[in-house]
Amino acid sequence: MGASSSRARRATSRADVDFDPRADLRAHAASDAEGRRGGRRASNDDGRGAIVESDGGATTTTTTSAARTHKTTTIRNHVNLNKSTLECVTSDGGAGGRSGGTPSLSSGAGANKFGITFKVDADKACRVSVAYVARELPGGAFEPASTNPIARTNPKGTNVAHLEAGLGARFTQGAEDYVDVRSFGGERELTTTNVDAKTYPVVIRLECVSSDAEANHGKTLADLPENPIGGLAKPEPWVQCQTTYAEFRRETSAPRKWTAHVTKQKIYVHGSSYELQEIYGIESCDNVGLSSADVGEECVICLTEPRDTTVLPCRHLCMCAECAHHLRSQLTGNVCPICRNPVESLLEIKVAGDAAP
């Protein structure tokens, strides 16, 4: 009995020290459950909650903070490089990829020469362009940036290919397009991003024609501007593209295999660029397109409504809009229920059944 009382006292003490924002919010959620049965809130009347409007499948969301409200628009990305599929490849005997051999993961053979392979999901045909050791210029163009004067003045040509629309289309560089580590200013140029100089070890761009008829004026992939040698052309206003920035790493022990690692991705649409960021938890949510059988899709506070609100800046998708509203209204405990970091703003994400093209 004494042990039980001791445990109870310890539990009470811990509750007093560590405030749990979910307890009070669950009470709010329970009292408002009747009002939520008709569906998720699309708007609220005090201007502080998240607002979602759908127009032809395109979703407009409102990012909310205690001080101000920002509207953001969900943009359909027609082309996407699957980051987890980016790998380095070499070929036995130096004859791989399109030249007829079978590429393999980078190993001791041909350790100074390698290429890359990755998968692309696209609902439109696209052009693939790959440039090594390139500097980003204003407007989205890239130029050769090696410290090796020979590599800079006589750079390796930009690798260009075309892929048809489809899921999981594989791009693999042929041996004739492999990069030679010795042709640059040392391995560091392929393993390190220079943020100040905006120089990147490898840049991969996927380009397709925008679905906006007013912008593309009947353009096709054949109308895309030619890339400068060793760089990438500035995106045209009628082009939608995704640019992937990556670095290479080399193992210190044999066989000293090369690996590729994505550092960031951007999309360019309607003349503006946006950096893509991961939202943690979106992969298990039914309201963004997955099966309702997925586990863990409910709001972590009320445990009933689907999660549709992301906490910023930590980017945890963990709450429904109603609980997020109550969280913001609290004078204390305004922290993310997952990581307990302060909440700066909230972003409600709601995807219409069929997104606009």
Q: Give 182's pLDDT tier (boundaries 50, 70, 90).
A: confident
Spatial CA neighbour of 48 closest among 308, 324, 337: 324
Spatial CA neighbour of 25 closest among 336, 339, 277: 336
Strand partners, 273: 268
Highest mean pLDDT among 144-148, 203-207, 290-294 belongs to: 203-207
Report the distance separating Cα 166 and Cα 163, nearest Å: 9
Report the distance separating Cα 181 and Cα 172, nearest Å: 18
The residue ranking higher by pLDDT, 108 or 145, is: 145
Of 68-82, 88-102, 325-339, minimum mean pLDDT range: 88-102
Q: Are the C-beta atoms of residues 136 and 198 closer than 8 Å to each other?
A: yes
The residue ranking higher by pLDDT, 19 or 280, is: 280
Grouping H, G, I as helix, E, B as strand and the rest as coil, residue 356 is coil
In sequence order, what are the residues at sequence separation of 6 or more whose Cβ sits closer than 8 angstroms to the Cβ of residue 216? 209, 210, 238
* CA distances for 13 relative to 5, 20, 333, angstroms: 12, 13, 18
Structure tokens at 322: 């109603």
| pLDDT of res. 253 | 80
Of 27-36, 96-105, 143-152, 324-333, minimum mean pLDDT range: 96-105
Average pLDDT for 161-168: 94
Residue whose structure tokens are 């005997």: 93
Spatial CA neighbour of 327 closest among 7, 12, 19, 17: 19
Average pLDDT for 324-352: 80
Mean residue pLDDT of the chain comes to 74
Amino acid at 150: I
| pLDDT of res. 87 | 94
Provide the residue ranges of all domains of the chain, joining segments of one domain with +: 19-75+279-348, 82-275
Quick one: which H or E segment has residue 312?
Answer: strand 309-312
CA angle 218, 269, 156 (to 5 degrees): 90
**Which CATH number is 19-75+279-348 given?**
3.30.40.10
Is the pTM for the entire model greater than 0.75?
Answer: no
Structure tokens at 217: 């004026």
| pLDDT of res. 344 | 85
pLDDT above 80: residue 289: no
The residue ranking higher by pLDDT, 176 or 31, is: 176
| pLDDT of res. 213 | 61
